[in-house]
Amino acid sequence: MAVEKMEFKTEVKELLNLMIHSLYSHKEIFLRELISNASDAIDKARHESLTNREIAEACGEWKIKITPDKTANTLTISDNGIGLTREEAVAELGTIAHSGTREFMQALKDASQKDKPGLIGQFGVGFYSSYMVADRVTVVSRKATEKTNKAIKWESTADGTYTIDDATRDKPGTDVVLHLRDDDKKYLEEWEIRDVIKKYSDYIEHPVVMDITREKEDPADKEKKIKVTEEETLNARKAIWLKDPSEIKPEEYNDFYKHVSHDYSDPAKVIHYRAEGTSEFMALLYIPQHAPYGILYRDFKIGPMLYVKRVQIMDHCAELMPEYLRFVRGVVDSSDLPLNVSREILQNNRQIGVIKKNITKKILDALVDMRKNDAPAYEKLHKEFGRVLKEGIHFDPSKKEEIADLLLFTSTKTEAGKYTTLSDYVRDMPIAQDAIYYITGRPDENVLQSPYLEAFRTKGYEVLCLTDDIDDLIMLDLGEYKGKKVRNVIKGDVSLDKATESEKEAQKGKFEKLLAKFKEQLKDEVKDVRLSGRLTDSASCLVADEGGLDPQMEKLLKSMGQDVPSQKRILEINPAHPVFEVMNGMLASGKDEQVQEYIDLTYNQSLLLEGSKIKDPSAFARSVAKLMTGNLKGKKPA
């Protein structure tokens, strides 16, 4: 096939631009990224070779080789791994497959210089980091299953296009050739390469080798020195998770974390233990300080690396980690699983189930421990992962109370910057209060101003303020905590006012006609109109049925493309508010048109209060303006 010239996808062009023009610090991570890709490619080939002996024979002894060439100014990273076909090279090196690329790009533009490399690693745009140091990159690759020396050559100067051509390669594998910029020639120096590999790739299981030439004594003539070139392994290749925790220094844990997570910061918590008994495995797990990029996207890679008897099986074993703990990174090395485990086996494997249960418990225990003993760190963590953690209440009912205990809340009673927990909430509840109350709103909304809270404030009842999109669903799933019902303040019938039963009856009688008028006029908009037990100052509000969805949840589900029938709400009016006395008066004196207008105004106001749009804003504005001038009319000019 002849040489083809292709265009990068727009997001790759943009990313390359950023790589070249705005990343100056920590450039050396390009080597970590390329070695990591090479190591992945070897893992894939080794995995294939378990069922295909020919691959093992063709590839030879697994290794990654670094070749600096000071004459050509190139640094080559070679592996004898799985290789790329022409189509794969186009697909893998010409596009970015992740969702959320645009958001990532924006975050990258906004991030400080120091945070940029960390972001890049987390997003996994590893290969493109080559362009931080090279102005041209050539990739020569032969697929491990290719029996002839046929290979492909991919090349680009990051000018928006790349070429793909035929090539040859003696053995399967890939060479990534970096044509270094003048300013970055230090990466051809032996000490620099050693340094970077020690720092970032020491734990890579496969040997990273380089030809080192030294002067040595000539064995034939001891007086003479000769130059001898020997292949030297530059990385220690030690599996840190197999060591005894007491022998591991915090820096070692942190370095390994950076290696597995591509994160730049240290982890918030390390969990390292050996499980014995029904299942034998080692786990080294990390809770990061910051949420990794894309954690809310569908294609976010979940789960720790899975090793079986020190052999890497896969990068992310989703079967080992519940989704609500997907921020956890690390390694699990099992002694019980077969080496050739496939996805199908994983899904139904009892051992995997046992390990998952075990590590879930350890992680939850670690979180509880942090919450109790290191509150400031836990609060930070909760800001990052609370949204993900609470999904567990929905997906793992068996653990819902345990997870609920880990959640932090702001409430109508917490001071700015402080939090409460469900258990503290229940402890501090007035005796007369029989449920746990919460209100939902958008993060940018000041829910504390909400009229729904009026009666709760008057009664001295605390209300939890929830601002994550999924909160209402989560609280519905929780249902109860320590025997107390969990209730949304805008749902169901709440009767917190001071009125006695006989007073309520009297109110009902007094407003019966007005309520009937309301119901008749709003019959297409609301399900019911009733007197409110939750308002003290405001005139009216819209509420949902006990089991219904709140407006936040309705919007979220709709935005996810779910077919949610619009739920009619209930309009509640405050019998203690003077406006309804006024309306009663109008009704009695036959001012029907005015009553009609006031009913519309009441309803529209309530829509605005719950954060919904009103149907006819201009009619609403006209009515308000009329009211305002009406007020003026009644006054004498000054």
Cβ burial, residue 289 (10 Å; 0-12/13-18/19+): middle
HSE-up of 486 (CA within 13 Å, CB side)?
23
In angstroms, the CA 163 to CA 154 distance is 6
Q: What is the DSSP string of 174-188?
A: EEEEEEE-GGGGGGG
The reply on whether position 92 binds ligand ADP by CB under 6 A is yes
Q: Which tokens is 223 given?
A: 């007086």
Q: Which of 117, 121, 126, 575 binds ligand ADP (CB under 6 A)?
A: 126
The minimum distance between CB 116 and ligand ADP, in angstroms, equals 16
Interacting residue with ligand ADP among 12, 29, 82, 341 (CB under 6 A) = 82
**Nearest CB to ligand ADP, comparing residues 82 and 346:** 82
C-alpha 385: how far from its chain's center?
8
Listed ranges 121-129, 241-249, 292-300, 547-555: which one lies at the site for ligand ADP (CB under 6 A): 121-129
Determine, following the binding rule CB under 6 A, whether residue 273 of this chain makes contact with ligand ADP.
no
Q: Which residue, 235 or 351, has its beta carbon nearer to ligand ADP?
A: 235
Q: Alpha-carbon distance 630 to 324, whole Å?
A: 57
Which helix H or strand E contains 404, and what residues bound it?
Answer: helix 400-404
Distance CA 88, CA 164 (A): 11
Shortest distance in whole angstroms from residue 124 CB to ligand ADP: 3
- Which of 43, 79, 454, 462 binds ligand ADP (CB under 6 A)? It is 79
Under the binding rule (CB under 6 A), the answer on residue 93 touching ligand ADP is yes
Least separation in angstroms between residue 52's CB and ligand ADP is: 17
CB 420 within 8 A of CB 402: no
CA–CA distance, 437 with 446 (Å, rounded to integer): 17
Alpha-carbon gap, residue 414 to 137, rounded angstroms: 56
Instruction: Report, in Å, the least distance between residue 175 CB and ligand ADP.
Output: 9
Among 81, 288, 294, 322, binds ligand ADP (CB under 6 A): 81
Of the pair 81, 118, the CB lying nearest ligand ADP is at 81
Per CB under 6 A, which region of 30-38, 505-513, 570-578, 596-604 contacts ligand ADP?
A: 30-38
Rank residues 92 and 165 by Cβ distance to ligand ADP and give the closer one. Answer: 92
d(C-alpha 135, C-alpha 133), whole Å: 7
The CB-of-41 to ligand ADP minimum distance in angstroms stands at: 3
The gap from C-alpha 126 to its chain's centroid, in whole angstroms, comes to 19
Report the C-alpha gap between 417 and 423 in whole angstroms. 19
- Rounded Cα distance between 493 and 585, Å, is 28
Residue with tokens 């960390």: 118
Q: Which two tokens stand for residue 403?
A: 């997870």
Is residue 124 at the binding interface for ligand ADP, with CB under 6 A as the rule?
Answer: yes
CB of 126 to ligand ADP, least distance (A): 3
Q: Does 292 bind ligand ADP (CB under 6 A)?
A: no
Restricted to residues 135-174, the positions that interact with ligand ADP (CB under 6 A) are 174
Other beta carbons within 10 Å of 247: 8
Q: Given candidates 19, 35, 38, 535, which one binds ligand ADP under the rule CB under 6 A?
A: 38
64 binds ligand ADP (CB under 6 A): no
The C-alpha atoms of residue 337 and residue 72 are separated, in whole angstroms, by 47
Q: Any contact of residue 118 with ligand ADP (CB under 6 A)?
A: no
Tell me 612's DSSP state: P
In this complex, which beta carbon is closest to ligand ADP, that of residue 268 or of residue 302? Answer: 302
**Closer Cβ to ligand ADP, 80 or 279, answer by number:** 80
Closest distance between ligand ADP and the C-beta of residue 224, in Å?
41
Q: How many residues bind ligand ADP (CB under 6 A)?
A: 17
- Per CB under 6 A, residues contacting ligand ADP are 33, 37-38, 41, 79, 81-84, 92-93, 124-128, 174
